[in-house]
Structure 1
Amino acid sequence: MKDAIYALMDFSPKYAKEKITDTLNEMENIGGFDDLRLRKSGPFLFGEVKIFVKKGIDVSKAHEIAGKIEEKIKEEVKEVDFFTIHIEPYKERYAKAAIPIDDNKVSEHFGRAEKFLVFKVDREEGKIVEKREIKNPYKEKKMRAGLSCAKFLISEGIDALITKEIGEIAFHMLGDEGVEIYMAMEGIDECIDKFIKEKLKQLCRALKQAGVFHVS
């Protein structure tokens, strides 16, 4: 009986899933998707999927992309009545992170740090594949050292920063470039270990002036 109904509708759950999968694969600015689910209720389909947006795409742009995907899916599969899209950042296999350091400890001041420890992690293997120290060329700069350091680290291609403090302007510059910023609560080795295990607290806002951090 169920097959007969699908035949009359010229529609099947398998067909719908294939069409939606093709649509998702064709969309730009997403690095992949997961957990595609469909549920039938009468003649209609309800669905949801998790998409991974690429680095450098801000929240408003990500929601715009999600809206276009939903619209396209409903065009391709007329039976879809409601479709929920969950947005998550796309994580490459390799991630490059930086930690401001002084005397082999996490620096108390991002822009005035003596050096930056830059390391590359293989997320699949859960290990460091590259590590080096870079002298901070802006340590002695009188004004906006943090901003200059942010630009410098962006040019180094970092994906994440682990720090004890950071000014508002530098924070937003890094964030606009898709750099994730995490709070350093322990020593260097502990920070690296927690970064690999994805257990660091990510900063969603930083107020250096008040000495207050807001974490997500």
Structure 2
Amino acid sequence: MIAQESLKLGIKASRNATLALALLALVKGAVGIYSGSTVLIADAVHTGLDIFASLAVWIGLKISLKSSGKHFPYGYYKAENIIALFVSLLILFSGVELLKEGFTGVNTTSQLEFQGLALVTAVFSVLTIYGLSIYKRNIGTRINSQSLIADAMHSYTDVFSSMIVVVAVLGSMLGISKLDSFGTIVISLLIFKMGVESARDSVLTLMDAWLDEEESERIKKDIRSIPGLIKLEDLKLRKSGLVVFGEATVEVEGETDLKRVELLSEEVKTAVKKEVENLEHIVVNVKPVQRKNFRLALPVFDMNGFQAKLSGHLGKTPYFLFVDLEEGRVGNWKIFENQFFNSEKKGGMKAVDLIIREKANVLAVKTVGEGPYYMLRDNFVKILQIPDGVDTARDVLDRFQNFEEITTPMK
């Protein structure tokens, strides 16, 4: 499903939910006034306020269809957050007023009339809101709309407040009239809590805050695992309505050509999109620096550690020696068997795949073919040429920083 069709489906779902909530609020309000149930009136106000939540999603999805204007290069997405802030203030005011009404009702005795009608309305409200939450969740999941899914979860929590109304009406029918006022107080507190949370989220979003630290750490971990990156210097993410904008600054070794920078930028974007599906745009800044730590790969004939004899052919070498070098000092090392050294086809490419999997960033070799060369280069593995007279791994470790870089494939 293309983005435009997904947005239109989401708009339709949020519109239907808004209209259904408006009708439900009118029914509960009318029955509440007719029967004298303050808790049903409070729940009608609660549902009325829920209309604004669905309306905000509706408006946000509608605005998402609109192209960026001359004075709004980042789009109109934050209009949803501004609307949500005003709605939050209205919710807070309504919560306070209903709370006063609830406390007033505790000190007075009210007779609930048409109890059966009030009870049927309360049960109908529970079933309707539950059905709406399922409907919005299914559509939201189908089009990957986080706002619609969140609104569905909000509706699901409203099911419980409507169940309070059922309990309050039943209590009144059993002669416990105070339950009506206590139910009003509970719902008022829920409304007030919803207003505080909505206002907080709106203000923080307008201030470009990013609150999901766990998601941010997962993204950073994915970016750091990209071959060719020396360091992730900085990652900034900010929400704007339904979408996310970002900026990442990464370090790579030395001067890098434009094609490789583009490839690296795409990998960074993919890592972010893995966690943030509604990513609108991310800027990747690539900074060239001098690498201090290396993971060196060497093709060798045997498993004699640093005394191993060097192999002259990348694809036909029986083993690979991997050595960690930290600011010139030798650290951990391992020898892996090249399971493909007898392969008749693409042995070099399979060997390169092993080098990349082991996260080597430098390869010292006597010769390299065209396919392996470009595969290594695209994965930011620096290729050094082993000169004549260098026969063992120890010789390479002593002199590799003076080796010349291979910049074109060799025959």
Q: Distance in 2 between matches of 1:100 and 1:184?
A: 11
Task: Give the drift of 1:90.
Answer: 2.8
Q: Distance in 1 between matches of 2:294 and 2:375?
A: 19
1:60 aligns with 2:258: yes
Say which SS state the counterpart of residue 204 (structure 1) adopts: coil
Partner in structure 1 of residue 295 of structure 2: 96
Instruction: Flag the 1:120–1:63 CA change in 2: closer, same or farther, 3 A.
Output: closer
Q: 2:335 aligns with which of 133, 143, 148?
A: 133
Q: 1:122 aligns with which of 326, 334, 342?
A: 326
Paired residues of 2:234 and 2:249 also in contact (CA < 8 A): no
1:149 aligns with 2:351: yes
% identical equivalent positions: 22
Say which SS state the counterpart of residue 182 (structure 1) adopts: strand
Q: Distance in 1 between matches of 2:324 and 2:261?
A: 30
Instruction: Flag the 1:205–1:166 CA change in 2: closer, same or farther, 3 A.
Output: same
Q: Which runs of 4+ in 1 moved over 6 A?
A: 24-27
Q: Distance in 1 between matches of 2:255 and 2:341?
A: 30
Q: Distance in 1 between matches of 2:383 and 2:299?
A: 12
1:191 aligns with 2:396: yes
Q: How does 1:73-88 map to 2 (within 5 A)?
A: none
Say which SS state the counterpart of residue 367 (structure 2) adopts: coil
TM-score by length of 1: 0.56
Paired residues of 2:256 and 2:288 also in contact (CA < 8 A): no
Instruction: Flag the 1:166–1:156 CA change in 2: closer, same or farther, 3 A.
Output: same
**Greater fraction of residues in helix:** 2
Paired residues of 1:182 and 1:203 also in contact (CA < 8 A): yes
Task: Give the drift of 1:207.
Answer: 2.0
Task: Give the drift of 1:30.
Answer: 4.2
Instruction: Flag the 1:62–1:147 CA change in 2: closer, same or farther, 3 A.
Output: closer
Partner in structure 1 of residue 408 of structure 2: 205
Instruction: Flag the 1:63–1:153 CA change in 2: closer, same or farther, 3 A.
Output: closer
Partner in structure 1 of residue 150 of structure 2: none
Task: Give the drift of 1:89.
Answer: 4.0
Task: Say which one has the larger Rg.
Answer: 2
Computed over aligned residues only, the root mean square deviation of the Cα atoms, in angstroms, reads 2.9
Task: Give the drift of 1:95.
Answer: 1.1
Code of the residue aligned with 1:199 in structure 2: it is N
Q: Distance in 1 between matches of 2:355 and 2:319?
A: 11
Q: Distance in 2 between matches of 1:107 and 1:148?
A: 16
Paired residues of 2:294 and 2:325 also in contact (CA < 8 A): yes
Paired residues of 1:120 and 1:128 also in contact (CA < 8 A): yes
Code of the residue aligned with 1:127 in structure 2: it is R
Paired residues of 2:260 and 2:378 also in contact (CA < 8 A): no
Code of the residue aligned with 1:59 in structure 2: it is D
Code of the residue aligned with 2:322 in structure 1: it is V
Paired residues of 2:250 and 2:287 also in contact (CA < 8 A): no
Instruction: Flag the 1:63–1:108 CA change in 2: closer, same or farther, 3 A.
Output: closer
Aligned residues: 137
Task: Give the drift of 1:93.
Answer: 3.6
Q: 1:181 aligns with which of 354, 358, 383?
A: 383
Q: Distance in 2 between matches of 1:160 and 1:168?
A: 17
Say which SS state the counterpart of residue 181 (structure 1) adopts: strand
Paired residues of 1:164 and 1:184 also in contact (CA < 8 A): yes
Consecutive unaligned residues in structure 2, runs of 5 or more: 1-232, 236-246, 263-285, 303-307
TM-score by length of 2: 0.31
